[in-house]
């Protein structure tokens, strides 16, 4: 009986998350009926756009058996590149600057791919180190100063809504990204390879796949999506902020969300849909806590609790697999 | 002088005994130990002898508190021991010295020897005393080891000596050695045996596990033979000989399973030729495999069989030597290259290296042929299902649905999933390598797998069959190559193969 409840929780991830989201909304409504405004809705959706981009990259990487602590640092570097390009080449269309910035994000991801798959450093430690390196550079570049980015076209991408609804156009783009990655994951050879290599890299290699290559692609992909996320943030804030992103730590939010959505920390399982529902839950929850004017430390505490809960659920889910492994040598993704 | 007195004292004391009483231990699919009982006595060296899988290491693991036994108990001097953890076992006076040394390489010899019992003076470790005490032990053993150097700086042999000194310092009445001589040179073995004799004279209970016959006759006083987890016999070393021991290790009934196999008797051209293959683990390995032939690689665990096939498959780097596939020299950098050329490997440990456990059967079957399952940008789910269905029907895999997770299947069915992966219509397998395909599988399915091996041969596939079960390998394979210490020590045709002559080659000195 007890086991079946646990199993239900594990299996019905998306459903459960939707129920939780509704509960959060309900409690907020009971406590603060006036908070259901168009402005608040738009704010939540904007936050979703930002976290959603990070969430996809992080979840993909997790499924492939990796994790990148430097994700927000990649985003910071990308926004720095964006700001610098706009500054150096006056009149350059922001779109081109954005593309250059995304390439920078890809390169940042590539560095971590090289460290973890190329020379086989322990990804957990290596990416923490690189996070610090990039953050240091990002602060040095503007001597720790915020720099405003005044580009009406660029600011509009996050501000414009569909007609009179509170839904930003950008939100549709983010949904499209989630859908596209879901399709790749479920129906393409690459997606299959991600799950297989994350699930058991040794077996995947002996069956002719190249786990190092797959994981490298995922690190680079994570860098690209982090860059896009960083751009969204810069567009919302209208500035380059050398420390803002790293203090927000969207990769940790994404990690929690992905794991709440059933992406295993051991790699090899999960869907992007439920990972995204995890993002929706966390974003809604922390915005609700803010509107209820609960102090910031409370939000921090709740986020931490969520991560531990998600990890606990994951550990329950993988217990069975662990039992099934003949030798007890299961390694964390960051260790292999 | 002092030692002699000590020895005299121990003789006066009651002889200590270590009794194994009705020990049983089951792992999923295998009864590793089945009601094993025997007694080891102080002042004698007792050898544990048996084939691979006879249960020797399981017994040592139980003794060292590493794993619990299902039934039975171990009694020291008539008192039952509660061996719930390795630490507990050490405190109860049991030291097991494994091949992999349990030392901390970066710490000094003295710290390792006194680990957990460092001499303390007013709250601080007294290194002076530590050094003096360690030096005393080293002198007693007459070894040229500096107590202050880190263990990592010592030779493998000396590291092992440190391990023994650690057991000696703990004053453990029971010391067990697991294949201690494997990494040692002859001279180092002499030193080791000197130490063992000295420990024996002090009345310690010594258990000695080794595959080397010569040593067993040289150092031990009694021999316990295990087979398939069961106690076979206990002999006095002085009253037995090599032939008798091998017979005791092997002797079992070979049922009709093998006689009823429908074999292939027509061989084609040579499909795989290996010349002087050398890697980090194997030396100068050469053999030829013809189409439709089944060759067996026999040998004890660690003989290098898996390493040979991994090198052929492109999974491990090759130092020198040549591999020819259908007469053409080939060099595989990755398993992918080998697969493309028509070589397939069912790896030794199917859960760790073969399967994606929490993925469905379909994903596991289609793994090497994803490229061929592409329809535009996407995977052709229907073709994948067909492929899987083919495997399920061909090997009668028992599963309610195609997308059941493989971790929910039995061991035999899991193995069939891997076989299905390599024999589907989308792969052309010329050489099929089966590494321990019957490990942990029930008797009925084993027989099915033997017939499958013969069927592959009939289709013209060259099969390399690796097994630690001697009976199996000498009855299924057409030619048996026996390995020892990374080299092929001989080959026997099935008609001439007996467990005795194969085991003799496998245990070659």
* The pLDDT of residue A326: 35
> Which tokens go with B176?
């067990």
**Mean pLDDT value of segment B246-265:** 72
Question: Using CB atoms within 10 A of its CB, is residue B321 exposed (0-12), middle (13-18) or buried (19+)?
Answer: middle
Q: Which residues contact B262 (CB under 8 A, 6 or more apart)?
A: B451, B454
What digits encode the pLDDT tens for the residues A68-82?
A: 999 999 999 999 999
Do the beta carbons of residue B300 and residue B506 sit within 8 Å?
Answer: yes
Contact assignment for A202 to B353 by CB distance below 8 Å = yes
Name the pLDDT band for B158 (thresholds 50, 70, 90): confident
From residue B408, how far is each of A204, B23, B436 by CA, in Å?
19, 30, 21
Q: Structure tokens of B20? A: 């194994």
B358 vs A contacts (CB less than 8 Å): 199, 268-269, 321
| Predicted local distance difference test score (pLDDT) of residue B254 | 47
Beta-carbon contacts of residue B335 (< 8 Å; ≥ 6 apart): A205, A206, A207, A208, B313, B314, B315, B345
Partners of B463 in the β-ladder:
B294, B432
Classified by CATH at the fold level, domain B14-250 comes out as Rossmann fold (3.40.50)
Of A204, A205, A269, the CB nearest to B358: A269
Spell out which residues of chain A touch residue B340, defining contact as CB-CB under 8 Å: 208
How far A63 CA lies from chain B's nearest CA (Å)?
12
Residues of B in Cβ contact (< 8 Å) with A321: 357-358, 407
pLDDT at B264: 85
Contact A187 B378 (CB under 8 A): yes
Whole-number mean pLDDT of chain A? 87
> What stretches of A32-93 show up as alpha helix (H) in DSSP?
38-63, 71-88
Q: Is the pLDDT of residue B296 over 80?
A: yes
Mutate to test the interface with A, among B67, B334, B353 (most CBs of A within 10 A): B353
CB B333 within 8 A of CB B313: no
CA distance B138 to B344: 53
Minimal C-alpha gap between A217 and chain B (Å): 18
Per CATH, the architecture of A2-326 is what?
A: Orthogonal Bundle (1.10)
CB B267 within 8 A of CB B290: yes
CB–CB of B292/B458 below 8 Å?
yes
Token readout for B51 is 């084939």
Band of pLDDT at residue B389, cut at 50, 70 and 90: very high
CB–CB of B434/B463 below 8 Å?
yes
The mean pLDDT of A302-319, rounded to a whole number, is 82
For residue B237, give the DSSP letter.
G
Contact A208 B373 (CB under 8 A): no
Query: Rounded mean pLDDT of A107-116?
Result: 96
Four-way CATH pick for B254-342+429-509: 3.40.50.1000, 3.90.580.10, 3.40.50.300, 3.40.605.10: 3.40.50.300
The pTM of this model reads 0.77
Residue B76 sits at φ, ψ, to 5 deg, of -105, 120
Q: Please, how many CA atoms are within 13 Å of residue A54, restricted to the half-sphere of its CB?
A: 35
Of B334, B354, B440, the CB nearest to A203: B354
pLDDT value for B189: 82
User: The tokens of B14 are what?
Assistant: 């009651």
pLDDT at position B12 over 60? no
- Do the Cβ atoms of A200 and B373 come within 8 Å? no
pLDDT at B463: 96
- Say yes or no to pLDDT of A331 above 70: no
Structure letter (DSSP) for residue B81: P
CB contact under 8 A, A207 and B367: yes
Instruction: Indicate if ipTM > 0.90.
Output: no
Please give the residue of chain A at the shortest CA–CA distance from B419.
A207
Average pLDDT over residues B163-175: 87
Residues of A with Cβ-Cβ distance to B345 under 8 angstroms? 206
Measured in Å, how far apart are chain A's first and last C-alpha atoms? 36
Q: Is B436 left (phi over 0), alpha (psi -120 to 50) or beta?
A: left
Residues of A in contact with B377 (CB under 8 A): 188
Give dist(CA B52, CA B302) in Å, integer: 10
Element (H, E) at A232: helix A211-237
Residues 6+ apart with CB under 8 A from B481: B287, B295, B296, B297, B298, B488, B490, B491
Does A202 sit within 8 Å of B352, measured CB to CB? yes
Closest by Cβ to B351, choosing from A188, A208, A326: A326
Distance from CA of B378 to the nearest CA of A (A): 5
Yes or no, beta carbons of A188 and B353 under 8 Å apart? no
Q: Which residue has the tokens 């456990």?
A: B357
Closest approach of chain A CAs to the CA of B351, in angstroms?
6
Q: Pinpoint the alpha helices (H) of B95-185.
A: 109-113, 127-141, 156-169
Q: Which residue numbers of B have CB closer than 8 Å to A's CBs? A: 28, 313, 315, 334-336, 339-340, 345, 347, 349, 351-359, 363, 366-368, 370-371, 373-374, 377-379, 381, 407, 421, 440
Location of structure tokens 């719930």:
B84
Which residues in chain B are classed under CATH 3.40.50.300? 14-250, 254-342+429-509
Contacts of B367 in chain A (CB under 8 A): 196, 203-204, 207-209
Tens of pLDDT, residues B477-490: 999 999 998 999 99
A209–B367 C-beta distance less than 8 A: yes
Give the confidence band of A335 by pLDDT, cuts at 50, 70, 90: very low
Strands annotated E in A138-261: 147-148, 239-240
Q: Average pLDDT for residues B170-199, to the nearest whole number? A: 83
């Amino acid at each position: 009986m007890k086991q079946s409840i646990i199993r239900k929780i594990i299996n019905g991830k998306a459903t459960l998350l939707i129920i939780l989201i509704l509960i959060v909304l309900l409690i907020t409504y009971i406590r603060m009926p006036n908070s259901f405004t168009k402005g608040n809705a738009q704010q939540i959706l904007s936050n979703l756009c930002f976290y959603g981009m990070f969430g996809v990259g992080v979840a993909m990487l997790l499924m492939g058996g990796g994790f990148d602590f430097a994700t927000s640092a990649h985003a910071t570097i990308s926004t720095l590149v964006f700001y610098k390009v706009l500054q150096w080449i006056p009149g350059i269309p922001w779109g081109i600057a954005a593309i250059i910035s995304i390439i920078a994000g890809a390169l940042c991801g590539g560095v971590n791919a090289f460290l973890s798959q190329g020379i086989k450093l322990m990804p957990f430690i290596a990416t923490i180190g690189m996070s610090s390196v990039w953050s240091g550079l990002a602060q040095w570049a503007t001597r720790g100063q915020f720099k405003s980015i005044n580009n009406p076209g660029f600011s509009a991408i996050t501000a414009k809504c569909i007609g009179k609804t509170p839904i930003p156009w950008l939100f549709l783009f983010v949904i499209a990204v989630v859908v596209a990655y879901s399709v790749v994951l479920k129906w393409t050879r690459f997606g299959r390879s991600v799950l297989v290599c994350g699930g058991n890299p040794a077996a995947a290699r002996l069956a002719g796949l190249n786990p190092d290559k797959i994981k490298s692609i995922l690190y680079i992909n994570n860098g690209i999506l982090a860059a896009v996320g960083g751009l969204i943030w810069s567009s919302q804030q209208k500035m380059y902020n050398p420390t803002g992103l790293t203090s927000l730590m969207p990769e940790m939010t994404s990690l929690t969300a992905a794991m709440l959505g059933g992406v295993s920390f051991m790699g090899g399982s999960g869907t992007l849909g439920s990972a995204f529902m995890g993002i929706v839950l966390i974003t809604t929850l922390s915005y609700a806590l803010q509107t209820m004017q609960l102090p910031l430390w409370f939000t921090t505490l709740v986020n931490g609790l969520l991560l531990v809960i998600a990890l606990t659920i994951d550990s329950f889910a993988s217990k069975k697999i662990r039992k099934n492994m003949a030798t007890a040598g299961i390694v964390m993704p960051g260790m292999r | 002088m002092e030692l002699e007195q000590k020895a005299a004292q121990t003789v006066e004391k009651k002889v200590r005994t270590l009794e194994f009483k009705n020990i049983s231990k089951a792992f999923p699919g295998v009864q590793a130990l089945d009601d094993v009982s025997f007694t080891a006595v102080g002042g004698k060296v007792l050898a544990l002898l048996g084939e691979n899988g006879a249960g020797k290491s399981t017994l040592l693991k139980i003794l060292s508190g590493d794993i619990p036994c299902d039934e039975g108990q171990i009694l020291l001097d008539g008192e039952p021991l509660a061996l719930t953890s390795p630490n507990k076992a050490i405190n109860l006076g049991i030291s097991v010295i494994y091949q992999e040394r349990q030392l901390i390489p970066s710490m000094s010899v003295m710290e390792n020897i006194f680990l957990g019992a460092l001499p303390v003076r007013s709250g601080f470790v007294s290194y002076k005393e530590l050094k003096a005490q360690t030096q005393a032990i080293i002198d007693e053993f007459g070894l040229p080891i500096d107590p202050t150097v880190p263990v990592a700086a010592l030779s493998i042999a000396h590291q092992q000596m440190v391990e023994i000194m650690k057991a000696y310092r703990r004053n453990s009445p029971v010391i067990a050695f697991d294949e201690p001589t494997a990494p040692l040179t002859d001279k180092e073995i002499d030193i080791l045996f000197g130490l063992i004799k000295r420990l024996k004279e002090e009345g310690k209970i010594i258990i000695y596990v080794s595959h080397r016959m010569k040593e067993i006759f040289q150092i031990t006083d009694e021999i316990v033979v295990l087979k398939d987890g069961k106690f076979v016999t206990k002999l006095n070393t002085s009253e037995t000989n090599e032939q008798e021991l091998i017979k005791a290790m092997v002797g079992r009934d070979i049922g009709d399973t093998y006689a009823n196999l429908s074999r292939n008797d027509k061989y084609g051209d040579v499909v795989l030729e290996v010349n002087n293959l050398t890697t980090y683990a194997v030396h100068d390995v050469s053999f030829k495999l013809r189409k439709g032939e089944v060759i067996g690689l026999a040998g004890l665990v660690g003989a290098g069989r898996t390493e040979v096939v991994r090198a052929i498959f492109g999974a491990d780097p090759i130092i020198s030597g040549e591999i020819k596939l259908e007469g053409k020299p080939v060099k595989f950098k990755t398993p992918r290259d080998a697969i493309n050329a028509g070589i397939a490997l069912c790896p030794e440990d199917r859960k760790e290296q073969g399967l994606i456990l929490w993925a469905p059967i379909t994903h596991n079957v289609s793994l090497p042929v994803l490229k061929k399952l592409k329809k535009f940008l996407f995977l052709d789910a229907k073709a994948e299902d067909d492929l899987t269905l083919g495997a399920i029907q061909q090997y009668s895999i028992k599963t309610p649905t195609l997308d059941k997770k493989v971790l929910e299947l039995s061991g035999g069915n899991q193995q069939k999933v891997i076989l299905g992966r390599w024999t589907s219509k989308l792969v052309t397998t010329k050489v099929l390598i089966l590494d321990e395909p019957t490990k942990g599988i029930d008797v009925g399915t084993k027989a099915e797998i033997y017939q499958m091996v013969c069927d592959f041969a009939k289709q013209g596939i060259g099969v390399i069959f690796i097994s630690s079960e001697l009976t199996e390998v000498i009855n299924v394979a057409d030619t048996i190559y026996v390995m020892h210490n990374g080299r092929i020590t001989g080959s026997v045709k099935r008609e001439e193969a007996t467990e005795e002559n194969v085991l003799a080659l496998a245990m070659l000195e």
